[in-house]
Amino acid sequence: MQPFEGEGPAVVGHRGAPRVAPENTPAAFAAAAEAGAAWVELDARRAADGTVVVHHDPVTADGLAIVSRSAAELAQLGVWELGAILDGLPPGLGVDVECKNFPGHPDYDEDDALAHQVAALLAARAGVRPFMTSSFNPVTVAVLAQVLPAVPAGQLYVEGLATEAAIGIAAQQGARVLCAPASARDL
């Protein structure tokens, strides 16, 4: 299965359907699929015990870092493990796993353990559904492209960067996709 096959644009539910259900949850992803999304995007981070969890922000609503709590503690706050999310998605729904690995964030990992763990989780589910990976961090994109060559890696567009420069960075890192927002100034 290859990403974005078929006619017309692929509809991607960003964090699922967050206006219908809490973002990055099974309910949000199911709602996105029911609304016609062919793909969903979700955000991967590491918990204190090394488990990959799905949460957009580096901190929970109470201000504590995701990386300072175990997956079991985070589950009590409604934060799901990536493996459980992937296993519970509607059949055929494509998934873009965004690896959150920003310098300056409490969970920044210069060894890219998150990328390797995400790659292992996706490789274990190869052929089940289409996947792609993405990150704002070019080094993380390069690691994902290298360790998971059958899955397209996407470089997320850094606001304010000229599109030509963004394309160059993406190409250098082995990305097959440049994920640019509608606000990109020169697209």
Mean of per-residue pLDDT scores for the chain: 91
pLDDT tens column, 9-66: 788 889 999 999 999 999 999 999 999 999 999 999 999 999 999 999 999 999 999 9
Instruction: State the DSSP H helix or E strand holding residue 81, giving kind and residue range, or none if neither.
Output: strand 80-81
Q: Residue 142: is its pLDDT beyond 90? A: yes
Which tops the pLDDT comparison, 177 or 132?
132
Enumerate the domain spans of the chain. Answer: 12-179
Q: Give the mean model confidence (pLDDT) for residues 129-153.
A: 95
User: Nearest CA to 183 among 158, 151, 155, 147?
Assistant: 158
| pTM metric for this prediction | 0.92
Q: Residue 184: is its pLDDT beyond 90? A: no
In this prediction, residue 173 carries a pLDDT of 87
Q: Residue 1: is its pLDDT beyond 70? A: no
Dist CA 40 CA 28 (whole Å) = 9
In this prediction, residue 157 carries a pLDDT of 84
Cβ atoms 95, 148 nearer than 8 A = no
Does domain 12-179 fall into CATH 3.40.640.10? no
Band (183; pLDDT cuts 50, 70, 90): low
Cβ atoms 69, 51 nearer than 8 A = no
Which tops the pLDDT comparison, 163 or 42?
42
Q: Which two tokens stand for residue 40?
A: 């969903």
Q: Give the mean model confidence (pLDDT) for residues 62-78.
A: 96
